[in-house]
Amino acid sequence: MAEHLRARSVLADAGGEVPRMFGDAAAVRLTEVPPAGAIVLRLDAADASALQQAREALGIQLPLTPNTWHGEGDITVLWQAYDEWLALTADGRQTEMAARLTQALAGRHAAVTDVSDLHAEFLIEGPVGRDLLRKGCAVDLHPRVFGTGHLALTALARVRVVLWQTGDAPAYRLRVERSHARYLWDWLADAGGEFIDG
Amino acid sequence: MLLIPCPWCGARPDSEFSAGGEAHLERPDPDHASDGQWGEYLYFRRNVKGVQRERWLHSHGCRRWFNVVRDTVTHEITAAYPMGESMKETGPGA
Amino acid sequence: MTQPFRIDSGGLINRGKPLTFTFNGKRYTGCEGDTLASALLANGVHLTARSFKYHRPRGIVSAGPEEPCALVRVGTGARVRPNVPATMVELHDGLIAASINCWPGVNFDVGAINNAISGVLPAGFYYKTFMWPAAAWMQYERFIRKAAGLGVTPSFPDPDRYDKRNDHCDVLVIGGGPAGIAAALAAGEAGARVLLVEERAQLGGQLLFRNASIAGQPAREWLAQAESALARLAEVRVVCRATATGYYDHNLVTVLERCTDHVADPAAHLPRQRLWKVRAHRVIVAAGAIERPIVFGNNDLPGVMLAGAAQRYAAQYAVRAGQRAVVFTNNDSGYEAALALAATGVEVAALIDPRERPDCAEAVQAQGIAVMSRHAVIAAAGSKRVQRVTIAPVDATGSKLTGPMQHIACDLVCVSGGWDPAVHLYSQSGGKLVFDGEQHCFVPGAAMQPVRAAGAANGAFFVEDAIEQGRAAALNSDTAAPRRALALQPLWAAPGVPQGAKPFVDLQSDVTAADLALAAREGYVAVEHTKRYTTTGMGVDQGKTGNIIAYGLLGGLTGRTIPEVGTTTFRPPYTPVTIGALAGREIGTSFEPWRRTPVSAWHTAAGAEFEPVGLWRRPMYYPKPGEAMDDAVARECLAVRNGVGMLDASTLGKIEIRGPDALTLLNRLYTNAWNSLAIGRCRYGLMLHEDGMVFDDGVTARLGETHYLMSTTSGGADGVLGWIEDWLQCEWRDLKVHVTPVTAHWATVCVTGPHARDVLTGLASDIDFSGTAFPHMSMRQGQIAGAPARVARVSFTGELSYEIHVPARYGLALWEMLLEAGAAHGITPLGTEALHVLRAEKGFIVVGHETDGTVTPIDLGMQRLVSMNKGDFLGKRGLARADNVRKARKQLVGLLTRDAAVMVPEGSQIVAMENAGRIAQPPVPMLGHVTSSYRSPVLGRSIAMALVADGSNRMGGEVAVVTDGRVVTATLTDPCFYDRQGARLNG
Amino acid sequence: MRYSLFSLLANAAGGHRRWPRAWMSPAPKPSYDVVIVGGGGHGLATAYWLAKNHGIRNVAVLERGPIGLGNTGRNTTVVRSNYLCDDSAHLYEHALKLWEGLSQELNFNTMFSQRGVVNLAFTRHELAGMERRAGAMRLNGIDCELLTLADLRRWIPNLNLSRDLRYPVLGGIVQPRGGNARHDAVAWGFARGASALGVDVIENCAVTGMRIEHGRITGVETSRGPIAAGRVGVVAAGHSSVVMDMAGVRLPIQSFPLQALVSEPVKPILHTVVMAGHVHVYLSQSDKGELVIGAARDSYLSYAQRGSFHLIEEQLRALIELFPVFSRLRMMRQWAGIVDCAPDASPIVGLTPVHNLYVNCGWGTGGFKATPGSGWVFAHTIANDAPHPLNRNFTLERFTTGALIDEAAAAGVAH
Ligand SMILES: Cc1cc2nc3c(=O)[nH]c(=O)nc-3n(C[C@H](O)[C@H](O)[C@H](O)COP(=O)(O)OP(=O)(O)OC[C@H]3O[C@@H](n4cnc5c(N)ncnc54)[C@H](O)[C@@H]3O)c2cc1C
Ligand SMILES: NC(=O)c1ccc[n+]([C@@H]2O[C@H](COP(=O)([O-])OP(=O)(O)OC[C@H]3O[C@@H](n4cnc5c(N)ncnc54)[C@H](O)[C@@H]3O)[C@@H](O)[C@H]2O)c1
Ligand SMILES: Cc1cc2nc3c(=O)[nH]c(=O)nc-3n(C[C@H](O)[C@H](O)[C@H](O)COP(=O)(O)O)c2cc1C
Ligand SMILES: [Zn+2]
């Protein structure tokens, strides 16, 4: 019997490891991102010292502006609500990260939960990425109002996603509840079909 | 489709939200409320024609509840404010 | 092939690109740039349709979306489009079209009998007859239905693809005529993000056929320059073949883009149509104006056409709509049309104008056209095409004949009764309409949303005014843009229409002036009543040309002004929108997400039958080859009772609860008391809404001092989370507790059966599974084969059971490992159906089966789970309401059929034994219904649960279960049928 | 003048110039025995039955606009009595029986077409719910048949019965006596009938206040002046709480938009009413040929007679799932009404805390079908100052005691 349980991708049976390309010159490219360590942090943003503790434990400032994210080194923190953040780190580091945070925030009105397997993460890049997303997403992604560093919690197709822009090409990442991932992947692949030159 | 101004995420189509009905309802003291008062609390709403304060949940976004001041005839929204904030004097009637 | 009515030069068609098409089985040729209508006219085809009610011959009336008559079927097979206006069908090679609503054909149509008996078919005739005998209506109706309707629905599923697109802009400009172009240019140059949508294939609006000059420049030159200026602006997007169809709240405008309808062989990957949902900061409606007809006798004959349309056919499409025309106009625009026609070689026999002679008559007369002022066309004649008109002199108001009639031979009548701004979208936005007493049309008034109208849509009928208005609207400038009036004297209908010549108001719905008069006589005078009684404006064209005339005539009939009559409500869509486009891509497999667990693919491969649970898809059972459902379920059940089974329970809702007030929260949410729960132990709880009714249940484990893990039903997880967050965020803001949903983070496998422990002890794990170390209703954390794991010993089957949670990425591996580890014990995967049988044997409830939102814990016999002395909890007060403490409420019971082999269907009604004989003579009082019903393999008989009035006092008594007219006798018992002492899950 | 084929023929000869007004629209008198507030189908039916069954003819129906343009004039016209709760079943079945003779009763063809109402089941849970409902209907003496897939194929030839759907159809029930009626005709027919019996149908007369003395109503204020009344019945649908507020009576009612749409007219293609609860759409084909399609209601309070566009998208997705052949048809018009929803999705018909003031509301998304029956029992209630046995349990008090008549679970989809 196996000594160690083998991890599987949520798209294991849909070929998610292989990037999907649509259009000549990769007008848009869709990839499943390997799992990251992820922590949900709940904290009162009005509690300045708690914020300070969290910052020290993470080594990075929590974004306090709604709809933004902030990354340094291998840590990215996504704003989720006025009292909630999603901290991403390299896979395997989450337990330690959670422990650090838990310890730093002990005795405060805060909660740290490992959610590394709660979501799947996709990368969408290429010049028509915006056109692909706007088929199912009502957020205005025009560069005048949404650029690298921005984030949106919104509905894409029929599911809730966390969508954030990581590059001007543009490049977006999105996280979706794992049980919805396959649906969203298929939806994106179908939507991308239009950009394949006939 | 209404544009609901989430105080945090910004304005989004109402399909991203759940409507929570009239805001600032008082829950009567359960130990002292009569059946009549409890029934009022459960079922009776002002059903305002005009400007009303109501609750919305950004269910597909930040998952937070907040209050909105909206005209139920024109659908115009004049204010949105977080839960726990008292009724601001925003607009007539309400 | 010749196109006899094609003009040799001019126009915007490409003579070098001839296109072949078929109409009513006959082949014709047209040119690139034609519409089906212009190509038909080029070939001299005027008879294109039969009317809705009277099956009268009809032709082409307009050159746009307002077309009331020339509706045709386009395409064949699965790609057919049943009722489209020929005026909006761009010609492509091989296009096939045909007339609709006529049999055997458009030339000879049997339905025309209706025209002969039209005397007994006035407006609303069906309200007055077909009532005897009462039962015969269904027969009458069959005929009426056959006669009604227009085209035929395609017989096959739609092969095309439809897409959607969300869009945003600072300024949305609707309409690409001069006003819209000017608006887009001005806004774009000011730096705004602009979207300009134009319904037709190219920009230009009326400039495409009007001989206008703009600031001394010929219109087409201005247009070309403007188009290239637009193209240079990076943030201005122009989309043609895109109709703004609906204006909704908060400046949401829907736009239907027709991507491939005009292409002979569209590429398969492209959508046929795309629905845009545009959220604009500001909207400028520059949709132009629609020409208004004038009613006269037989004004529906083919060859009677709007003057502007004839002009457009001549100038844009290089088609002569006739050889000898009469122009009938009450305003100056008809003069321009007359000149344009004459310039293309149409003989204009006369220009008839009820007004005194206007200045513009001079130029017309100079072309040798007779201008007959103070005259009106009172009727047309001809069989399938107009052959002549009858004209007569009229008084100054146009309401009386003042002299003898005379006839003029012609094959084309060009009518202009004025222009109506296309205010549809403006009105849909909530904007008010006001009646312009000078131009006699409705124009936009006060706005309710950030929207302005410009150009002809705003009553500016002169190009330079329109451009000025477009610019002003774009810059949001307050200075009122100019609007010179178009000289016009209103004339809705010609007076003195001869007997027998029907004057039509709504050509599509076959509503005549007499119908309106009848409606008025019978009191249907409110404009909305008139509409509904006569069906005016209720056709595919939504009365774009007819409605205003109906208002005018109705005003006259009832002594009201047009503003007093008012308009009917403008509703979306402006022009009809394909249902497929509204549905979009989220159909079929994309209809709704299938939520998948980490083991889903394995279940599929194993041949499971699935059932939906919320958005999840759970294996219901795993049939082996040759096994029916019952066999498979029985096998799975017995495996659990006698050996061991395993179930994918990943769908169970899971919520982490942390904080010093976690315990307070649980005490308020659940009906029972939570104070004494030790760390590492679990407890079952019920949740009630504030009315006292059960809405979810589940087991919560205490993992730490202030840390709990709550589980919920699979379908109820979102509801429970929402419920908790609602209370925490809105009411109990002082509670120091956080809840975090983690359902999909964990894969959960439930191992259940007497051999469950044997299977688990075979795993590489640091958890001690022994009965003493790990008692029933407790949870342990540790690891299994290197993965972090939480294991709960809880049971829904009544057997020794463990729920093993590992991070989702390991879910499939865990499943496979358990299969392997359990192989020696014959471990059997089981689906939800077996689980339900097993839990029913134990009398455990399932929320949604045993509850339906009207059931309290007391009704379920679970009073021991309701702690009345722990303080308040949600639903406590509700439980005490008068009806909830009523005796003899419906209560949960077990049911054993007298014949153990008989199984009653779930949902069956239950009546008292003494009423069993009465079921043939209803009404029969009912006692309750069967909530769950199964064949129990271990008991070898059927079992059921039911909610029965006063059930707890009827225990041991018999009731009659009524199923499909049969009566089954059953005894009421305790709902627990198996191992009542619970011996099997302890130890 | 009586309506008949004969009178139609006779009038044809005269160019239809002799038809009289269908109903009189007189100026209000200073005082009436009974004033009905609201000239929708229910209000007009109430007045008709007051005059016909109870001999009370000094009655005015006050309608703020033209009659019949509220929900009566904008509903999808489904008529059925396939209800679960006994109280509802008896009430709606009484109405259905009245529908069966209504055209003759009113001498106005309401085009009541018993083409059958089919409810589809998409989950086993729904199937069990239908078994429960069908059983209850039969035991209450109401026609109902359970349908297999083969039956469905017969009833609805174009229905997509593929197993590959996200939610395949599993079965259904049909009430063969259910169907559609012409909505406008019902209002007009009752108005004509009531008018002929002496009732004043007063249009463009909005009630703006209530006169109450010592807990007893004595009349109403209107946009056309005060009108004294012995008794007042309020039947104002979406505006019920606004009107009752004038009398200081609160209602457990919320007003929501309910949308509907019609396709372009086509030749007969659908011969039954089809309702699909789980995927949220229902439809029928009108005699004029258009598909009349409805769905769920909007979730927010509104008095605007318009709703959110995404509901239309949802409804048409569901339609295409069930009827792929309708994809190329086009939506011709969409609209909304304001429906008065009670917490248990059942109406409130009865007395109020104010003497001689009666209320009839809460029909929500499904009161058209009740129109003749609702008027019948409400007229009885007003005439006797006591409810008819059929509406005895549809009281306001039930929201105090908790004895709701919970059709919410059974209804599933609005209509
Ligand atoms: C889109 C839609 C689809 C529906 N589909 C169905 C269906 O298929 N089957 C079904 O059974 N039911 C359906 N319904 C519900 C049904 O339409 C209503 O329940 C029913 O028509 C209510 O009738 P009513 O006469 O009570 O109300 P209404 O017809 O709305 O009449 C109320 C009247 O009161 C008047 N009024 C209001 N305030 C005042 C005042 N202050 N003074 C004077 N008059 C006033 C209003 O102007 C209105 O005319 C649907 C409803 C909608 C909106
Ligand atoms: N001389 C006359 O009697 C007379 C009368 C009326 C109009 N006009 C002419 O009309 C023009 C006015 O300019 P304008 O720009 O206001 O009108 P326009 O008619 O030139 O342009 C309006 C454009 O809007 C498009 N459109 C309409 N509804 C639409 C929708 N819902 N979605 C997308 N596109 C839509 C039309 O296809 C058209 O191209 C001038 O050329 C003027 O001379 C002249
Ligand atoms: C059963 C039914 C059938 C309808 N059929 C049509 C129709 O064939 N054509 C049409 O334009 N409108 C039709 N309508 C919609 C009405 O025109 C109108 O939009 C609706 O009654 C609401 O009124 P309003 O739009 O004036 O607010 C229909 C409405 C109903 C209730
Ligand atoms: Zn938000």
Average pLDDT over every residue of D289-312: 96
Residue B88: the pLDDT is 59
Average pLDDT, chain C: 96
Q: How far is CA D23 from the centre of its chain?
A: 21
DSSP string, D295-326: EEEPSS---SS---HHHHHHHHHHHHHH-GGG
Q: Give the nearest ligand 3 atom to D182 CA.
A: 1
Q: Starting from the CA of residue C203, give the closest ligand.
A: 2
Residue B89: the pLDDT is 52
Q: Where are the alpha helices (DSSP H) in C316-442?
A: 333-343, 361-366, 424-428
Per the CB < 8 A criterion, the answer to whether A46 and A134 are in contact is no
CA distance C709 to C699: 9
Instruction: For the beta carbon of residue A96, count every other beta carbon within 10 angstroms.
Output: 11
Q: Where are the alpha helices (DSSP H) in D18-171?
A: 41-54, 86-100, 102-106, 124-139, 149-155
Instruction: For the beta carbon of residue C642, count every other beta carbon within 10 angstroms.
Output: 15
What pairing do the DSSP bridges indicate for beta strands C707-712 and C694-704?
antiparallel
What are C430's two structure tokens? Answer: 């909530």
| C232-244 burial code (b ≥16 CB/10 A, e <16) | ebebbbbeebbbb
pLDDT band at D410 (very low <50, low <70, confident <90, very high): low
**Cβ within 8 Å of residue C86, ≥6 positions away:** C35, C36, C37, C40, C48, C60, C67, C70, C71, C72, C97
What does pTM read for this prediction? 0.97
- Read off the amino acid at residue C135: A
Output the CA torsion sign for C894, C899, C904, C909: negative
Calculated CA dihedral for residues D78, D83, D86, D91, nearest 10 degrees: 0
CA distance C806 to C782: 10
What are C778's two structure tokens? Answer: 């407790």
DSSP string, C378-390: EEEE-SSS--EEE
Residue C977: the pLDDT is 97
Domains of chain A (ranges; CATH) run 17-35+118-195 (3.30.1360.120), 36-114 (3.30.70.1520)
Q: Starting from the CA of residue C465, give the closest ligand.
A: 2
Average pLDDT over every residue of C168-188: 98
Average pLDDT over every residue of C179-207: 98
Q: Which chain A residue lies closest to C267 (C-alpha atoms)?
A: A198
Residue D413: the pLDDT is 37
Per mean pLDDT, which range of A2-6, A47-51, C414-418, D7-11 is the poorest? A2-6
Residues of chain B positioned with their CB less than 8 A from the CB of D259? none
Q: Which residue has the higher pLDDT, C375 or A107?
A: C375
**Cβ within 8 Å of residue C907, ≥6 positions away:** C929, C930, D127, D128, D129, D130, D131, D132, D133, D135
Average pLDDT over every residue of C203-209: 97
Ligand 2 pocket, mutate which of C200, C206, C427 (most atoms under 8 A from CB)? C206
Residues of chain D positioned with their CB less than 8 A from the CB of B49? 239, 242, 255, 303
What are D98's two structure tokens? Answer: 């009245």
- Read off the amino acid at residue A143: P
Residue B93: the pLDDT is 40
Domains of chain C (ranges; CATH) run 1-159 (3.10.20.440), 161-290+419-486 (3.50.50.60), 293-417 (3.50.50.60), 504-577 (1.10.10), 631-839 (3.30.1360.120), 887-987 (2.40.30.110)
Per mean pLDDT, which range of A23-37, A141-155, C293-307, C521-535 is the poorest? A23-37
- Read off the amino acid at residue C185: L
Contact with chain C for residue B12, Cβ under 8 A:
no
Residue C572: the pLDDT is 98
Q: Label residue D234 exposed, middle or buried (CB < 10 Å: 0-12, 13-18, 19+).
A: buried
**Cβ within 8 Å of residue A135, ≥6 positions away:** A191, C163, C164, C165, C166, C585
Q: Label residue A159 exposed, middle or buried (CB < 10 Å: 0-12, 13-18, 19+).
A: buried
- Ion ligand 4 neighbours, Cβ < 5 Å: B 6, 8-9, 58, 61-62
DSSP string, B20-38: EEESSPPPP-TTT--HHHH
Q: Which residue in the block uniquely carries the two structure tokens 């921005």?
A: A150
- Read off the amino acid at residue C296: F
CATH topology of domain B1-21+38-94: Folate-binding fold (3.30.2270)
Beta strands in C852-908 (DSSP E): 890-897
Residue C987: the pLDDT is 65
Residue D407: the pLDDT is 83
Residue C477: the pLDDT is 87
- Read off the amino acid at residue D50: L
- How far does chain B reach from its first CA to its final CA, in angstroms? 23
**Cβ within 8 Å of residue C914, ≥6 positions away:** none
Bridge partners, residue A160, by sequence: A155
CA distance C120 to C129: 10
CA distance C265 to D287: 37
Residue D386: the pLDDT is 98
Contact with chain B for residue D309, Cβ under 8 A:
yes
What are D237's two structure tokens? Answer: 């649908």
Output the CA torsion sign for C303, C307, C309, C311: positive
In 3-state terms chain C splits into helix, strand, coil percentages (rounded to 5) of 25, 30, 45
| pLDDT tens by residue, D149-176 | 999 999 999 999 999 999 999 999 999 9
Instruction: For the beta carbon of residue C408, count every other beta carbon within 10 angstroms.
Output: 18
Cα(B55) to centroid(ligand 4), Å? 13
Beta carbon of D405 within 6 Å of any ligand 3 atom: no
Contact with chain A for residue B55, Cβ under 8 A:
no
CA distance C53 to A171: 58
User: Prior bond to A170 cis, omega within 30?
Assistant: yes
Interface predicted TM-score of the whole assembly (ipTM), two decimals: 0.97
CA distance B7 to D205: 43
Whether D285 shows a pLDDT value over 60: the answer reads yes
Q: With pLDDT > 90 as the criterion, what percentage of chain C qualifies?
A: 97
CA distance D204 to D10: 34
For atom 2 of ligand 3, which residue has the closest CA?
D76
| pLDDT tens by residue, C7-60 | 999 999 999 999 999 999 999 999 999 999 999 999 999 999 999 999 999 999
Cα(C376) to centroid(ligand 2), Å? 27
| pLDDT tens by residue, C780-820 | 999 999 999 999 999 999 999 999 999 999 999 999 999 99
Identity of the residue in C591, C692, C919 whose CB atom sits nearest the CB atom of D166 = C591
Residue D411: the pLDDT is 46
Average pLDDT, chain A: 92
Closest approach of D97 to chain C, Cα-based (Å): 13
Average pLDDT over every residue of C750-764: 96
Query: Of the candidates C562, C573, C530, which has an alpha carbon nearest to the alpha carbon of residue D68?
Result: C530
| pLDDT tens by residue, C425-451 | 999 999 999 999 999 999 999 999 999
Cα(B24) to centroid(ligand 2), Å? 50
Residues 1-40 of B with CB under 8 A from A: 8-10, 12-13, 15-16
**Cβ within 8 Å of residue C543, ≥6 positions away:** C506, C508, C536, C537, C550, C568
Per the CB < 8 A criterion, the answer to whether D234 and D357 are in contact is yes
pLDDT band at C645 (very low <50, low <70, confident <90, very high): very high
Residues of chain A positioned with their CB less than 8 A from the CB of B83? none
CA distance D12 to C490: 31
User: How many residue contacts between B and D have a Cβ separation below 8 Å?
Assistant: 70
CA distance C128 to C131: 8
What pairing do the DSSP bridges indicate for beta strands C419-421 and C289-291?
antiparallel
pLDDT band at B90 (very low <50, low <70, confident <90, very high): low
Do C126 and D109 lie within an 8 Å CB cutoff? yes
Residue D408: the pLDDT is 72
Q: Which residue has the higher pLDDT, D295 or C749?
A: C749
What are D216's two structure tokens? Answer: 């007893």
